Structures are given as structure tokens and as C-alpha cells.
Amino acid sequence: MKAARLYNFNDIRIEDIPVPKVGPDDALIRTKACGICSGDVMPWYIEKKAPLVLGHEFTGEIVGLGSSLASYRMPFSIGDRVFVHHHAPCMDCRYCRRGDYVQCETWQKTNIIPAGFLNIYLFRK
């Protein structure tokens, strides 16, 4: 698959990277559109994270689905169109129940591999 990887603010390369394997808690998404975060356009902020694939505000279509997501609270299916947030809360812990999602252990463990500026990405629950 193709990914846009930033090495420094004036050096972004389109590269081939392997398609991630889908685990039981993962969804593989084909990117349809991706926004640009304000942090992505601030060299002083983004260059310290390089090299990295940019993009974490995006939409797409599910093309691979882990077994636990097929039977999740709101079941997902191949072909579903989705918006992906860069983190996902559990909605059950004491932090989530009071609306403090960023303190949720699940929120802190979830991520996008590698990010949104590529043609397929993996969301890991």
C-alpha cells in the first residue's frame, strides 16, 4: 500500500509499506478522505515526531474486520463507511461515565496504524 511519510516539513515521500495484519480487535479501512490537522502544518510541532505518516481525521470503508468487532456493541461489517477518530473510549469505565474520555485506559491504548494519509490503514482497539 502507499503512504505519505514526513521526514521533515519539506520532505514528504510517497512510499510502499506493508498492509497490516488484522487482529481480533482491529478494523482495516480503505481511506476515502483525510483532513489535515493543525499540528500537521506546524513544523516546530510535527518535525520532532518524524519520520511518521500524517493524518488522523479521515473517513473510509471497512475492508477487513477482526472477529470481536463483528460482534461488538454496534456490530460492523465489511463495506461499512466509517469516520475514524484517532482514539476510542470504552464508554464503560468510571472516566467514560463522567465524560472524561482522555483518562480512559482504552482511549490511551487505541491508535491508528500508521495514520490517515495512505490508502489502507488499521485501527487497533
CB-based contacts of 51, cutoff 8 Å, min separation 6: 5, 6, 7
Give the domain CATH number at 81.
3.90.180.10
Burial class (CB in 10 A: 0-12, 13-18, 19+), 98: exposed
pTM for the whole structure: 0.72
pLDDT number for residue 80: 92
What are the pLDDT digits (tens) for 14-37? Answer: 888 888 888 887 888 888 888 887
Q: Report strand pairing: 26-34 vs 11-16.
A: unpaired
**Overall number of domains in the chain:** 1
Across the chain, which has 125 residues, the per-10-residue mean pLDDT values are 86 87 84 82 86 83 84 78 81 92 86 63 53
In which domain, by residue range, is 26 found?
2-124
